[in-house]
């Protein structure tokens, strides 16, 4: 434990804090039937690690959907957010209905010591709220990335946090499988310094592109979303 605590302090001293990229977080893009999209979560949802929102998950996902949908989008994300923080945000958001809500949460819960039981309860509350208050037809769960591959983290801290993140992700996927309307993204890309951002902790453009590909395929292959999408005037 003293070694892990010391490595945690060392990682923080080596960490290069990157800003959330500029760009519109609310708007309309594309053409075709309307698709109302919410992306909500932590710094990865906010796009930390790239220069603009066009290179982040939001911009790359809109780019993949805009040929088939008029995408009405909202991005609600903040660096350092945990699931409990997002639940408090939802209390203050207007009751706008979304067709798809994409979540990106969990890494900060792991690094800040939130228990698995508490986190799963918060995640279930989050999904319920997105489907009831916000009318989401589909909740796309991004799950946790392979934290054990983050270049910033030294060993054995990287191994310990990686094991915990994998455990959180495994239980999250099991819960999603049992909840109608929820689907988990299958993240299969290996991470290293070549495709991560300069801080060694956040995605680079390539990772965001792969992430956007996976989410777009879920949306584009969902007949319920395609059949229910209203036509824009």
Please list the residues that pair with 30 across neighbouring strands.
70
Please list the residues that pair with 157 across neighbouring strands.
none
Q: Is the pLDDT of residue 216 over 70?
A: yes
| CA dist., res. 132 & res. 176, Å (int) | 16
Query: Which helix H or strand E contains 120, and what residues bound it?
Result: helix 116-132
Report the side by side order of strands in the sheet with 100-104.
26-30, 70-77, 34-41, 100-104, 138-141, 182-184
pTM of the complete model: 0.91
Q: Is the pLDDT of residue 155 over 90?
A: no
Residues 134-151, mean pLDDT to the nearest whole number: 94
Residues 49-56, mean pLDDT to the nearest whole number: 98
Q: Is the pLDDT of residue 232 over 80?
A: no
Contact 119, 108 (CB under 8 A): no
What does pLDDT average to over the chain?
A: 90
| Residues in CB range of 225: below 8 A, 6 or more apart | 35, 99, 100, 137, 138, 219
């Amino acid at each position: 434990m003293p070694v892990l605590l010391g490595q945690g302090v060392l990682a923080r001293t080596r960490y290069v804090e990157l800003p959330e990229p500029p760009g519109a977080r609310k708007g309309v893009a594309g053409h075709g039937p309307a698709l109302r999209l919410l992306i909500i979560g932590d710094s990865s949802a906010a796009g930390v690690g790239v220069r603009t929102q066009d290179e982040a998950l939001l911009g790359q996902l809109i780019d993949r959907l805009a040929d088939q949908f008029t995408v009405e989008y909202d991005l609600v994300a903040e660096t350092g957010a945990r699931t409990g923080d997002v639940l408090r945000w939802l209390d203050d958001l207007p009751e706008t209905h979304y067709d798809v809500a994409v979540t990106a949460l969990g890494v900060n819960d792991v690094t800040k010591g939130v228990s698995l039981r508490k986190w799963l309860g918060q995640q279930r509350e989050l999904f319920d709220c997105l489907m009831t208050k916000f009318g989401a037809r589909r909740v796309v769960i991004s799950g946790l990335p392979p934290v054990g591959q983050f270049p910033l983290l030294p060993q054995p801290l990287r191994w310990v946090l990686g094991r915990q993140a994998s455990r959180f992700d495994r239980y999250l996927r099991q819960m999603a499988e049992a909840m109608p309307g929820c689907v988990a993204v299958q993240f299969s890309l290996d991470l290293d310094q070549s495709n991560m951002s300069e801080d060694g902790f956040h995605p680079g453009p390539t990772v965001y592109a792969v992430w956007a590909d996976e989410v777009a395929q879920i949306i584009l292959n969902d007949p319920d979303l395609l059949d229910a999408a209203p036509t824009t005037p």
